[in-house]
Amino acid sequence: MKAIKSVYIFLFPVILLSLFSCSNEGEYELQDPPPLDFKVYIDGMSISFVNDVPAATNVSWDFGDGSTIASGDSVVHEYSSIGNYLITMLAAVDGVSYEYHRVLRVDKASLIQLDDDSFEDWESVTYSDFIVAGKDDVLGAIVDYDANNVYIYVEFNAVEGAGLDSHIFGIYMDTDNSLASGFSLKGIGVDYGLEGNLHNGDIWPSMVDLVNGDSGWPFVGYEPSNPVIVGTIMEEDGVVKMEFGLPRESYAITGDSFQFFMSIMNSDWSDIGSLVNEDYGDNIVVKMDKQ
């Protein structure tokens, strides 16, 4: 499995890219996507930007934070605070100047690795608000995040005689922190859902069908290219322990706060229990404002 500390940081797609295109030189039409691209590598708040178009020349970068524009095919920039930044790559291809824009999320780093066959790295998560209680047979959880993913570790009592393939988890995400949008469930406006069994890989991502509104169960099928990153899963002394990552790009988790409700069910969909906040409410709020 690919390490979470991979070199690629995700970049939020910019809707209506043409709104950000500022150049109209030569034969370049405003509505055409510019023939530029770049890769991004992360080391905490230090971000490397690398030109990914061999034909591009005179490359320069606006990092979106008011700092001085830098030149070069490969540059490194240190951000002073977390947030969303509009990155502008300026370059020429075949003598025509272009500007290319993407939105970059800069956040704290995380020590969580989902491919190390261990849960020991969760001991590095010490924020008290990231330690989550459980209800009924769900014993508790820990959450963490970085610019790429939201990470969740959860423990629950296994049903006697049931294997790792006999449990279904459900996580329902409020990505815009608004009850007025999405599906009203457990005190949050749910925009996306993810259900299934991580051990056997049978998972079903969904999103709210805004056409049908809030009546009934308004979730429809959803097929992101990367719905979930599965980590270590094991049963030990009758307790199931599992970790996974939610790719922030897949679920539009772009803000400084993220809410979710999570429950564990048997294979017959009977409840085992759920995660709860410190007041034993159902909505888990992750304050994504750590430096």
Q: 3.40.50, 1.10.287, 2.60.40, 2.30.30: which CATH number matches 120-287?
A: 2.60.40
- 11-106 and 120-287: identical CATH topology: yes
State the Cα–Cα distance between residues 198 and 186, nearest whole angstrom.
23
Residue 84: predicted pLDDT: 85
Q: Where are the domains of the chain?
A: 11-106, 120-287
Q: Which CATH number does 11-106 carry?
A: 2.60.40.10
Asked if pLDDT for residue 170 goes beyond 80, the answer is yes
Asked if pLDDT for residue 191 goes beyond 80, the answer is yes
C-alpha dihedral (214, 217, 222, 227), degrees to nearest 10: 100
Tens of pLDDT, residues 22-71: 434 445 455 678 999 999 887 778 899 999 999 999 999 999 999 999 99
Does residue 128 sit in helix, strand or coil?
Answer: helix
pLDDT band at 15 (very low <50, low <70, confident <90, very high): very low
pLDDT band at 5 (very low <50, low <70, confident <90, very high): very low
For the ranges 143-157, 159-173, 223-237, 250-264, which has the lowest average pLDDT?
Answer: 159-173
Asked if pLDDT for residue 147 goes beyond 90, the answer is no
Tens of pLDDT, residues 63-109: 999 999 999 999 999 998 888 899 999 999 999 999 999 988 888 88
Q: Give me the mean pLDDT over the 188-210 stretch.
A: 91
Q: Are 248 and 131 in contact (CB under 8 A)?
A: no
Q: Which residue has the tokens 């969909």?
A: 269
Asked if pLDDT for residue 206 goes beyond 80, the answer is yes
Residue 1: predicted pLDDT: 35
What pTM does this model have? 0.76
Asked if pLDDT for residue 165 goes beyond 70, the answer is yes
Q: Are 45 and 80 in contact (CB under 8 A)?
A: yes
Of the two residues 163 and 143, the one the predictor is more confident about is 143
